[in-house]
Amino acid sequence: MTSPAVSTTRLSKRYGDFEAVRGIDLTVESGETFGFLGPNGAGKSTTISMLCTLVTPTGGTAKVAGHDIVRERDEVRRNIGLVFQDTTLDGYLTAEQNLRLHAELYGVPKDGLEARLRQVLEMVGLWDRRSSKVNTFSGGMKRRLEIGRGLLHSPRVLFLDEPTVGLDPQTRSSIWSYIRELKQAEDITIFLTTHYMDEAENCDRIAIMDHGQIIALDTPEALKAGVGKDRVQIHTDDNAEAIKALDEQFGLQATASEGAVSFFVDQGESFVPTLFGQFRLPIRAVSVARPSLDDVFMSYTGKTMRDAEASAAQRGRETMARFRGARR
């Protein structure tokens, strides 16, 4: 139990001339909840697919639960549970049939199975619905069932790829409370990806990923403390002019994103009156925020997550176009 749950050395994956993952080094200790945070297209899912033995790396090595992901694929698979972004349940079978099928595939011994089955179904709050067809479940129930199924064979590491994507906020928070309960009940390491900043706060440590690389790795608190300053966001009629004015009048480096101008100052609340008193442009709205992970992301990459996603999508389209072009 002393070996780390996950450790990687220069782990990389290249598709043609597109480098999806560029040399990742990280160690996740046993019992940790570790989060991969980053925009869509940053390489999180590719990394998780490699760690789960679904995709073969093109460079570097990695061990999961002490086993090499390329040479000891079966050993890795036996020790991990997986919950994917898209559902992988059989909708025509009942919740219980889905779990039993999983138990057979993983060879869960018969003697412990009944107790374990009941335990995971109760843990995800679906014991009463065990005889219903999965097709009749809501998105949140399906996700819960998948988490329960991922746990059925008592894995050492549970991988959750965007466990709450596509769910409404209420269901998202209920999924998180299940994950927290689970952490208390089971001796397990959780490795998850998300592009929701607020969810990353639930992790012991997070790695921020962008363009296939880890650009920051620490506890959420330490990452936020590293930014230190408060973020002030103002809406004006002319953002370009406002950025210029902020530089000229206050010596602040501001950036425009999502239609607003933001900048960082030490004491946001006390700066606002000064700003209103002296700024030469009319301000339509203002907000002050303590540092969030969004700000951490911004301070490392100079852009918001949403902007990063837009550019990643663009990059993806270009890559696909190149692939198509190459094939012709």
Q: Which stretch binds other proteins (CB under 8 A): 113-121, 206-214, 238-246, 302-310?
A: 113-121
Compute the distance between CA of residue 124 and CA of residue 178 in angstroms, rounded to an integer.
6
**DSSP for 188-229?**
-EEEEEES-HHHHTTSSEEEEEETTEEEEEE-HHHHHHHH-S
Instruction: State the helix-helix crossing angle for 305-327 and 293-301, rounded to 10 degrees.
Output: 50
Among 87, 171, 213, 257, binds other proteins (CB under 8 A): 87
Closest CB 229 distance from other proteins, rounded Å:
39
Contact flag: residue 104 with other proteins (CB under 8 A) = yes
Q: Find the part of the chain contacting other proteins (CB under 8 A) among 48-56, 162-170, 257-265, 285-293.
A: 48-56
Q: Tell me: does residue 241 bind other proteins (CB under 8 A).
A: no
Least Cβ distance, residue 107 to other proteins (angstroms)? 5
Member of 2, 16, 17, 107 binding other proteins (CB under 8 A): 107
CA–CA dist 90, 56 (Å, integer):
26
Q: 184, 324, 325, 328: which one contacts other proteins (CB under 8 A)?
A: 184
Q: Which stretch binds other proteins (CB under 8 A): 3-11, 180-188, 197-205, 261-269?
A: 180-188
Comparing CA positions, the residue from 270, 260, 273, 266 lying closest to residue 233 is: 260
| Cβ density class 75-99: b for 16+ within 10 Å, e for less | bbbebbbbbbeebebeeeebbbebb
Helix (H, G, I), strand (E, B) or coil at 144: helix
What are 192's strand-pairing partners?
35, 160
DSSP strand E in 75-212: where? Answer: 80-83, 157-161, 189-194, 205-210
Q: What gap in Å lies between CA 197 and CA 319, rounded to an integer?
A: 27
Largest CA distance in the chain: 76
49-68: which residues touch other proteins (CB under 8 A)? 49, 52-56
Q: Does residue 33 interact with other proteins by CB under 8 A?
A: no
Minimum CB distance to other proteins smaller for 119 or for 257: 119
Look up residue 76 and give its amino acid. Answer: V
**Does 131 help bind other proteins (rule: CB under 8 A)?**
no
Q: Torsion angle of alpha carbons 210, 213, 219, 225, nearest 10°?
A: -60
Residue 152 interacts with other proteins (CB under 8 A)?
yes
The stretch near other proteins (CB under 8 A) out of 47-55, 219-227, 297-305, 306-314 is 47-55
Q: Measured from the CB of residue 236, what is the shortest distance to other proteins in angstroms?
A: 47
Length of the chain: 328
**3-state SS, residue 316:** helix
Kindly write out the interface string for residues 66-85 of this chain, putting x where it contacts other proteins by CB under 8 A and - elsewhere: --------x--xxx--x-x-
Closest CA to 234 of 283, 267, 279, 272: 283
Binding window for other proteins (CB under 8 A); candidates: 150-158, 166-174, 223-231, 240-248: 150-158
Pick between residue 77 and residue 231 the one whose CB is nearest to other proteins.
Answer: 77
Among 10, 25, 71, 91, binds other proteins (CB under 8 A): 91
281 binds other proteins (CB under 8 A): no
Q: Which residues contribute to the site for other proteins (CB under 8 A)? A: 49, 52-56, 74, 77-79, 82, 84, 86-93, 97, 101-102, 104-109, 112-113, 115-116, 119, 122-123, 152-154, 181-182, 184-187
